[in-house]
Amino acid sequence: MVPSLARRARVRWDAARDCHVLLYPEGVLVLTPEAAEVIERVDGVRTLEAIVDALADEHPEAPREVIDRDVRELIERLAARGFVRSEAP
């Protein structure tokens, strides 16, 4: 599965509030640093597994299955609100 950011959503750094935000019509989602790390890798090219692999490499202290669960959960939540689309590779 290859997740990509929907056109309605835009992710950027918010210098005034010192956090990443996801902007969408009439709304702002404040991203935790962990969520931002995931979304930065959602580029419509990498598969979900590749995103998990990359994060696991960068966080050897965290068990891979925990990262895997967290990433899937986040992507599902964002997909339910129409911010992320997933396509089969």
Partner 1 sequence: MTAAPPMALLAELTYRCPLRCGYCSNPTDWRGYARELDAQNWRRVVREAAHLGVLHLHLSGGEPLLRDDLEDIAREGRDAGLYVNVITSGFGATRARIEGLAEAGVDHVQVSLQDVDGERGDRVAGVRAHDHKLAVARMVRDAGMELSINVVLHRGNLARTGEVIALAASLGAQRLELANTQYHGSALVNRAALMPARAQLDEALAVARAAQRDLAGRMDVIYVVPDWFADAPRPCMDGWGRRFMTVIPDGTALPCPGAHGLPGFAFDNVQARSLDDIWHRGADFERFRGTAWMPEPCASCDRREVDYGGCRCQAFALTGDAAATDPACAKSPYHTLIRDEREGPRDEPAVLHRIDTSRGRR
Q: Contacts with partner 1: how many residues (CB under 8 A)?
A: 16
Nearer to partner 1 (CB atom), residue 29 or residue 54: 29
Binding mask 2-31 for partner 1 (x = CB under 8 A): -----xx-x-x-xxxx---x-xxxx-x---
88 near partner 1 (CB under 8 A): no
Residue 66 has a CB neighbour count (10 Å cut-off) of 11
Residues 26-85 that bind partner 1 (CB under 8 A): 26, 28, 80, 82
Listing DSSP states for the chain in one string gives: -EEEE-TT-EEEEETTTTEEEEEETTEEEEEPHHHHHHHTT-SSSS-HHHHHHHHHHH-TTS-HHHHHHHHHHHHHHHHHTTSEEEE--
Please give the residue ranges that form the binding site for partner 1 (CB under 8 A): 7-8, 10, 12, 14-17, 21, 23-26, 28, 80, 82
